[in-house]
Amino acid sequence: DLTNGSYDEVLNAEQLKKLLYLLESTEDPTIIERALVTVGNNAAFSANQVTIRELGGIPIVGSKLDHPNLSIKEKALNALNNLSVNVENQIKIKVYMSQVCEDVLSGPLDSAVQLAGLRLLTNMTVTNDHQHMLGSSLTGFFRVLLAGNGSTKVQVLKLLLNMSENPAMTEGLLGAQVDSTFLSLYDGHIAKEILLRVLMLFQNINNCLKKEGYLALQPNFTKDSLFFLLYGEECAQKMRALVYHHDADVKEKVTIIQKL
């Protein structure tokens, strides 16, 4: 039974072929879900990432993103996430990015599907190749960042951090419409895993601005943009307060930002 959850062996190409055929041909949601889990587990191995692609497995898994069953959708996202570690696979997976984006932004907040989608988008933006595909969704990601729980916040920040390192995304990030409650993430009591990431976001954007001489673009940003939040007086006050933060890592980040 290739979909047996206790099946710890790495499947060979012949077994993977059968598994993908099963996944493509069955309508049974239980089998679909188990098959996706097995594909996902096997996609954790680099050799299988190639084999699954060569067997035409990526579109088979990708087709399950349309499934009405959220658990199936989540398992499909998890499998694509593991497959996306391979750069060549990303070329085939990128066709699903806008759909995943839409699901992340409109799906249930803090759900397993939303987190799985965010993880996939994060993997797909480790390099700069596909980041531009998310440009129109930046405002939405900031909305999810502010609305989500701790786990969601961390995952959105990982995604935003990937893009913040790319000067080509700087203008889009700074132009994103962001609620002023964003600045509360720079409060001293915020969990370190979130606080360090929002500080890193600021640092990366600063670095890109320096490189690109982007400050001349200031007039292009609206008052409700990230630009005006990060470079306004309230944020400056928060940075000054964080200099006295009890955590050395936080202090260090703030010191770097203030020097930039």
Percentage of the residues of the chain whose pLDDT score is greater than 90: 90
CATH number, domain 1-94, options 3.40.50.300, 3.30.365.10, 1.25.10.10, 3.30.559.30? 1.25.10.10
Q: What's the pLDDT score for residue 205?
A: 95
Q: Tens digits of per-residue pLDDT, 23-60? A: 999 999 999 999 999 999 999 999 999 999 999 999 99
Region 125-260: CATH code: 1.25.10
Domains 1-94 and 125-260 are alike in CATH topology = yes
| Distance between CA atoms of residues 146 and 138, nearest Å | 13
pLDDT tens figures, 234-255:
999 999 999 999 999 999 999 9
Q: Where are the alpha helices (DSSP H) in the chain?
A: 13-25, 29-42, 46-54, 57-62, 70-83, 87-93, 97-106, 112-124, 138-147, 150-164, 167-175, 192-212, 226-230, 233-242, 248-259
| pLDDT > 70 fraction of the chain, expressed in percent and rounded | 94
Tens-place pLDDT, residues 103-160 = 999 999 999 999 999 999 999 999 999 999 999 999 999 999 999 999 999 999 999 9
**Are 226 and 174 contacting, i.e. CB atoms less than 8 angstroms apart?**
yes
Whole-prediction pTM value? 0.94
The pLDDT score that the predictor gives to residue 6 is: 47
Domain segments of the chain as ranges: 1-94, 125-260
Contacts of residue 118, defined as CB under 8 A and 6 or more positions apart, other chains included, come to: 104, 152, 155, 156, 158, 159
> In this structure, which amino acid lies at residue 195?
L
